[in-house]
Amino acid sequence: KFLSRAVAGVEMKDLKSLADEAKKAIGSGVVAIGNASADGKGGVVVSVTSDLADRFNAVDFVRIASEKLGGKGGGGRPDMAQAGGPDGSQIPAALEAIESALRQKAAG
């Protein structure tokens, strides 16, 4: 399962909590939450359930998102990672890029 949401005005630490709650709700899957802040910057958190952490690495997905947001990478753990960039208007594109990469990895 893949769940993605774009939110606004949420701090990065709160994005992690939202991702944890969503991860519990779906049971097994990948969660991506993107946020555009009031200053125009964007942030993304990706969380992977423990049963899929050996197949999908959250850090790989946030790096893809960071590129879309004009950022320089991102980081974290295989099960939870975050990234940001100066262009919060690209949150929808960043979430779509994560979903596309996830589908490719799941298929291959």
pLDDT of res. 55: 94
Q: CA 13, 60, 74: angle at the middle one, nearest 5?
A: 45
Write down the pLDDT at residue 12: 84
What's this model's pTM, rounded to 2 decimal places? Answer: 0.94
Its CATH architecture, for the domain 2-107, is: Roll (3.10)
pLDDT along the chain (108 residues), means of 10: 92 91 95 94 96 95 97 94 96 97 92
Termini Cα distance of the chain: 16
What is the total residue count of the chain?
108
- Domains of the chain, by residue range, sit at 2-107
